[in-house]
Amino acid sequence: MTTCVRFAPSPTGYLHVGGARTALFNWLFARSTGGRFLLRVEDTDTERNRDELTDVILDLLGWLGIEADGEPVFQSDNRSRHREVVEQLLRDGKAYLCDNENNEVVGAELVEGLAVRFRVASYEQETLNICDVVRGEVSFAAAEMEDFVLWRSNATPTFLLANAVDDIDMGITHAIRGEDLLPSTPKAMLVMDAMGAVAPTYAHLPLLVNEQRKKLSKRKDDVSLEIWRGRGYLPEAMANYLATLGWGPPDDIEIRPMAEILELFRLEDVLKSPAFFDPKKLEHFNATHIRRLSSEEFLARLEPWFEEAAWPAQRYRTEVMDALGPMVQEKIRTLAEAERFVDWLMLDDPPVDVASWEKAIAGNAVARDILSEALVVYADTPWQADNLYEATKTLGEQHGLKLGKAQAPIRVAITGRSVGPPLFESLVLLSREEAMRRLQMAINKLD
């Protein structure tokens, strides 16, 4: 049997990291079983702009490397089919008309202004058993279920109806979704059974939770995938991290290419308990993925970031990144951090980090002497990294300081920060005149 799964986002306007994880697991399952991965936009709420919504979702899924098979299906396009199923259920007595107070209204045809509820009593078995790949067999007693609305009085299908009908019509073999949908699964199965259809196999994924162990909330948590992309996270790092939430590779190697995860992933290995979305660990994954990029690829990924950087576009100096790229690559954790490693080479007056200034210069008794002497020494040191290194080292030794200490005030005076790329290589790129101008400015500021 060829497997067929779907990711069915609801129209909230953006992609949630939990939704992205669900999409990823569906995609992994489809690709690893040679099946199909479809996209269905559950836009039964017709007020949204669906083109725009779909663009956001497709864009983000594409960013993550999750490609759907075929064009996305809009649930709202299946309205007539949904209506047809409701009408049939009504005729079969498996559903009934009801008014706003949920009182049954006699009739076997749809009536404008009246809703339709499913009649659970029409189901003849005592229990509904869900065959769940993750949770095993889960059963619900039919006697404890209440009738539920299939068709609203405003003539639109509810999630329960549309979701069930579309899964059947699309030939979905495995419904892989969040655990929050587990309690509604027996209702979907009731509808499918009444349609004379066979329900798909289910797999309810453990929820992603926040530090309070609650389902990720749009209000309190950073759940939008766009936010993470905007913070400089690599799609491969995000997808890789998401794959380790609720699932773990058997060989304990967590950070790896998606192609390898595809080979190792098995739906039945997915865990049952909720997982905390840990930004710190995500950051570590990201830093590692950044370092694994080739130098060329790293620079290419940085391009969109530098286009929005604080320096004027015409001030960008290609030679700076050609020389410092690899050194920046091994230090940053997110792409967003790259800018402050090199901005002082593109700006006339780079910002000065207050804490760095206090520690290395204002609060450092020898800082003034070091800066003044550096001004003198740099005036006639050959402007090359090796020579600057030696000159600065000697300067420090005259104060009984190791190079590490001696370079601190110089670094802050010139770059504005205590952290950055290797100083002497960078000074060469800055030019002697500019370096000396900044040293003088720092001394003036101190006076």
Q: What is the DSSP code (8-state) at residue 132?
A: E
Which of these, 331, 329, 401, lies nearest to 370 by C-alpha position? 401
Q: Is 113 in a helix, a strand, or coil?
A: coil
Least distance CB 98 / RNA (angstroms): 6
Least distance CB 22 / RNA (angstroms): 11
Q: What is the DSSP code (8-state) at residue 360?
A: I
Which of 98/194 has CB closer to RNA? 98
Give the residues across from 202 on adjacent strands.
Answer: 132, 175
Least distance CB 51 / RNA (angstroms): 18
How far is Cα 116 from Cα 155, in angstroms, rounded to an integer? Answer: 9
Which of 207/361 has CB closer to RNA? 207
Which of 135/317 has CB closer to RNA? 135
Which of 179/193 has CB closer to RNA? 179
Least distance CB 314 / RNA (angstroms): 27
The answer to whether 209 touches 220, Cβ cutoff 8 Å, is no
Which of these, 264, 259, 270, 258, lies nearest to 234 by C-alpha position? 258
The answer to whether 286 touches 237, Cβ cutoff 8 Å, is yes
Which of 3/44 has CB closer to RNA? 44
Distances (CA, A) of 24 to 157, 164, 174: 28, 22, 14
Angle between helices 79-91 and 159-169 (to 10 degrees): 100
Which of 59/337 has CB closer to RNA? 337
Q: Based on the number of CB atoms within 10 Å of its own CB, is 304 exposed (0-12), middle (13-18) or buried (19 or more)?
A: exposed
Which of these, 203, 226, 202, 223, lies nearest to 214 by C-alpha position? 223
Radius of gyration for the alpha carbons in the chain, expressed in angstroms and rounded: 31
Least distance CB 38 / RNA (angstroms): 15
Least distance CB 160 / RNA (angstroms): 6
The answer to whether 7 touches 25, Cβ cutoff 8 Å, is no
Least distance CB 24 / RNA (angstroms): 13
Tell me the two tokens of residue 425: 């290589």
The answer to whether 178 touches 205, Cβ cutoff 8 Å, is yes
Which of 4/116 has CB closer to RNA? 116
Which of 140/357 has CB closer to RNA? 140
Least distance CB 238 / RNA (angstroms): 14
Which of these, 178, 170, 159, lies nearest to 71 by C-alpha position? 170
Amino acid at 318: T
How far is Cα 443 from Cα 168, in angstroms, rounded to an integer? Answer: 75
Strands 136-141 and 127-132: antiparallel
Which of 104/313 has CB closer to RNA? 104
Which of 136/196 has CB closer to RNA? 136
Which of 138/441 has CB closer to RNA? 138
Which of 273/318 has CB closer to RNA? 273
Least distance CB 149 / RNA (angstroms): 4
How far is Cα 205 from Cα 270, in angstroms, rounded to an integer? Answer: 7
| DSSP letter string, 247-294 | ---TTS--S--HHHHHHH--GGG--SS-EE--HHHHHHHHHHHHHHS-
Which of these, 22, 42, 9, 39, lies nearest to 162 by C-alpha position? 42
Least distance CB 4 / RNA (angstroms): 20
Least distance CB 296 / RNA (angstroms): 19
